[in-house]
Amino acid sequence: MKTRVVITGLGVCAPNAIDVASFSKALDSQQSGIRFMHQLQELKFGCQIAGQPLVPQNHLDAYFTVLQQRGLNASGLVYGVIAGIDAWKDAGLTMASDSVPYWDSGVIFGTGILGADKFREAIYMIDQGNTRRLGSTSVIQTMASGISAYLGGIIGSGNQVTTNSSACTTGTEGLIMGYDRIVSGKAEKMLVGSCSDSGPYIWGGFDAMRILPRKYNDEAKKGSRPMSASASGFVPGSGAGALVLESLESAVKRNAPIYAEVLGGAINSGGQRSEGTMTAPNNVAVQRCIKDAIQNSNIQAHEIDAINGHLTATAKDPVEIENWCAALERYGVDFPYINSFKGLIGHCLAAAGSIECVGTVLQLAEGRIFGNINCDTIHPEIEKNISATRIPTKTLDIAPNIVAKASFGFGDVNACVIFERYNP
Amino acid sequence: MHVLFLNAITHNFRMNDDHYQRLKLIIEPYLPEDVSVEIITPESDFMKELNINSANLVDIVLDVEDTFDIMLENEDMDTMRTVKDALLIIENKLKVS
């Protein structure tokens, strides 16, 4: 029998909450983290709203020394450290002693691009012939693996320490990579997660592609509208999510809290063939990914009680629903409950998968299904495939047993993971 | 105790106490947790005695440049082993400017 893997720790730094308890409350009471951003207005962005975690100075002081804060200009790194350390401590784990690392604990913490603001700072200095003034932290704040390196060092991880990157699939992919590593017996505990910087240099390219909403600059909280008939693009977000994955044996041995079990997952790509392109998914690949995840988890499609979709609020939402229907062979009222947290936090890009996995796992641990906002009028193409009753607009007091979570990303890449409520 | 040190080194170098205090303030945040600012003396070796790593030494040089409004050359950095070495460099640069 394959090694059972459970989730023993959670951490999050999201646009609507910067700790797990507040995040759960925010998802439950539908507190939006989408705000108007003056900077985006000044820079003449079409979309001037975004989701960005608000981290007060005293909170920062709890995670970074005064020295570490000097010249610190990598928001993703800040979010990632907060979420990662929170998850580790939440699991009841301590940092390794001074002399010996934890050989059986690893870190897979992904990102899209790290420290864009720091990199901009460096570019200006270098172009002015001032390379010698960069200081010693320019590299660690701007190397993609800066986040896993930071976390690995704080924890004292002696197993694999790496950063994965697969666009908006990053967080979910990293979780599956960590899961696989424990199942294969190469690690006992894996801190998995992902982070994404805030700011115009991260979001600008998407604004240029005209895939961000431009009509909601005056009503930020209404801007992110997954599955809605009036969805007009994704609201850019940022932040970090983190989970501690652990073999069931290890978790039980140390009497750790268990949030949920990871049953399995799948990662694939559509090869940018058929209708798949750099920016659009190959539908057959998406369906295969979901089916493979189900098979890898040893469950049947009908056992899935709820789905946390990728559902970004672009024109692709109806296509995603169609793919879920085809993969599960479930339609209408038979379709599982489905939600997207992006209505409240926006699309946190590389951090989306991990933040949303944290929210999905909370549903299993707390026995409820969070509602969707801004989709009072469901997209007609979606209603052709599933019943509107499957898209809750308020939190449901229904305890799901099995939940599927998927993320899709540029490059035609897909990841799907299956979680189950923990049953000893 | 510092006075003794001062006497010991004044035959070739008159240490400016104001500069010394300012340098100590620069060094302080870079000290590892188990090293107290009290143990800094002009003779302290940055890396061997104060346990400051080479990356942080790079930042100390930048802080020295900002604090004293001077610019250190690569050769200066190569000779900057102790606190006194740093002070000597500072005095020389200030004299030139």
CA distance A135 to chain B (A): 5
The correct CATH number of A264-420 out of 3.40.190.10, 3.40.50.11540, 3.40.47.10, 3.30.300.30 is 3.40.47.10
Nearest to A66 among B29, B55, B58 (CB): B29
> What average pLDDT does the segment A181-201 reach?
98
> What average pLDDT does the segment B7-31 reach?
80
Contact A269, A411 (CB under 8 A): yes
Query: What is the C-alpha to C-alpha distance for residues A349 and A214, in angstroms, rounded to an integer?
Result: 18
Cβ–Cβ gap B29/A135 under 8 Å: no
**pLDDT exceeds 90 at position B4:** no
Q: Give the CA-trace dihedral at B59, B64, B67, B72, to 10 degrees.
A: -110
Query: What is the C-alpha to C-alpha distance for residues B4 and A224, in angstroms, rounded to an integer?
Result: 70
CA distance B6 to chain A (A): 30
Q: What is the Cα gyration radius of chain A? A: 20
Q: How far is CA A142 from CA A50, A78, A262, B33, in A?
A: 23, 12, 32, 26
> In this structure, what token pair is assigned to residue A32?
């939006």
Contact A248, A399 (CB under 8 A): no
Domain coordinates of chain A in residue numbers? 5-253, 264-420
Q: How confident is the model at residue B10 (pLDDT cuts 50, 70, 90)?
A: very low
Specify the CATH superfamily of domain B2-96.
ACP-like (1.10.1200.10)
Query: What is the C-alpha to C-alpha distance for residues A343 and B70, in angstroms, rounded to an integer?
Result: 53
Residue A267 is classified by DSSP as E
**pLDDT exceeds 90 at position B96:** no
The residues, any chain, with a CB within 8 Å of residue A289's CB and separated by 6 or more, are A266, A267, A268, A406, A414, A415, A416
Q: Cβ-count burial of A134 within 10 angstroms (0-12 exposed, 13-18 middle, 19+ buried)?
A: middle
At A238, phi and psi to the nearest 5? Answer: -165, 170
The residues, any chain, with a CB within 8 Å of residue B96's CB and separated by 6 or more, are none
Cβ–Cβ gap B59/A66 under 8 Å: no
Picking from A106, A391, A166, A113, the residue whose alpha carbon sits closest to that of residue A289 is A166
**pLDDT exceeds 60 at position A384:** yes
What residues of A are in the B interface, CB distance below 8 Å?
A: 66-67, 70, 133, 135-137
Q: Which amino acid is at A150?
A: Y
Specify the CATH superfamily of domain A5-253.
Thiolase/Chalcone synthase (3.40.47.10)
Q: How confident is the model at residue B11 (pLDDT cuts 50, 70, 90)?
A: very low
**A254 three-class SS:** coil
- For all residues of chain A together, what is the average pLDDT? 98
Q: How confident is the model at residue A343 (pLDDT cuts 50, 70, 90)?
A: very high
**pLDDT exceeds 60 at position B3:** no
The string of pLDDT tens digits covering residues A408-419 is: 999 999 999 999
B34 close contact with A: CB closer than 8 A: no
> In this structure, what token pair is assigned to residue B86?
């740093």
CA distance A133 to chain B (A): 7
Q: Which of A67, A121, A131 to mutate to test the interface with B (most CBs of B within 10 A)?
A: A67
* A70 contacts on B by Cβ (under 8 Å): 29, 59
Which segment of A107-111, A171-175, B91-95 scores lowest on mean pLDDT?
B91-95
Q: How confident is the model at residue A61 (pLDDT cuts 50, 70, 90)?
A: very high
**pLDDT exceeds 90 at position B6:** no
At A420, phi and psi to the nearest 5? Answer: -130, 145
Residue A89 half-sphere exposure, CB side, CA atoms within 13 Å? Answer: 13
Picking from A304, A331, A329, the residue whose alpha carbon sits closest to that of residue A417 is A304
Q: What is the Cα gyration radius of chain B? A: 13
Residue A12 is classified by DSSP as E
The string of pLDDT tens digits covering residues A18-36 is: 999 999 999 999 999 999 9
Domain coordinates of chain B in residue numbers? 2-96
Cβ–Cβ gap A133/B62 under 8 Å: yes
Query: What is the C-alpha to C-alpha distance for residues A55 and B79, in angstroms, rounded to an integer?
Result: 42
Query: What is the C-alpha to C-alpha distance for residues A186 and A331, in angstroms, rounded to an integer?
Result: 40
What do you get for the CA distance between the two ends of chain B, in Å? 32
* B56 contacts on A by Cβ (under 8 Å): 67, 136
> What average pLDDT does the segment A369-382 reach?
97
> In this structure, what token pair is assigned to residue B23?
């340098």
Q: Which long-range contacts (CB under 8 A, 24 or more apart) does B49-53 make?
A: B52/B27
Task: Return the axis-axis angle of helices A352-366 and A20-28, rounded to nearest 10°.
Answer: 80
Question: pLDDT exceeding 70 applies to what percent of chain A?
Answer: 100
Q: How confident is the model at residue B8 (pLDDT cuts 50, 70, 90)?
A: very low
> In this structure, what token pair is assigned to residue A8?
């023993």
**pLDDT exceeds 90 at position A118:** yes
> What average pLDDT does the segment B66-74 reach?
94
The residues, any chain, with a CB within 8 Å of residue B14's CB and separated by 6 or more, are none
The size of chain B, in residues, is 97
* A133 contacts on B by Cβ (under 8 Å): 62
Scanning every residue of chain A, which has its alpha carbon at the shortest distance from the alpha carbon of B72?
Answer: A132
Q: How confident is the model at residue B15 (pLDDT cuts 50, 70, 90)?
A: confident
Segment (H or E) for A403: strand A402-409
> What average pLDDT does the segment A208-229 reach?
98
B37 close contact with A: CB closer than 8 A: no
Query: What is the C-alpha to C-alpha distance for residues A103 and A86, in angstroms, rounded to an integer?
Result: 21
Q: Which pLDDT does position A242 carry in this prediction?
A: 99
Query: What is the C-alpha to C-alpha distance for residues A120 and A125, in angstroms, rounded to an integer?
Result: 9
The string of pLDDT tens digits covering residues A228-242 is: 999 999 999 999 999
CA distance B51 to chain A (A): 15
* B25 contacts on A by Cβ (under 8 Å): none
> What average pLDDT does the segment A313-324 reach?
97
Contact A282, A412 (CB under 8 A): yes
Q: Which pLDDT does position B12 carry in this prediction?
A: 55
> What average pLDDT does the segment B92-96 reach?
90
pTM: 0.95
Q: Is A264-420 in the same CATH topology as A5-253?
A: yes
Cβ–Cβ gap A67/B29 under 8 Å: yes
Task: Return the axis-axis angle of helices A75-90 and A146-155, rounded to nearest 10°.
Answer: 30
> What average pLDDT does the segment A319-336 reach?
98
Neighbours of A418 (CB within 10 A): 25
Q: How confident is the model at residue B13 (pLDDT cuts 50, 70, 90)?
A: low
The string of pLDDT tens digits covering residues A268-290 is: 999 999 999 999 999 999 999 99
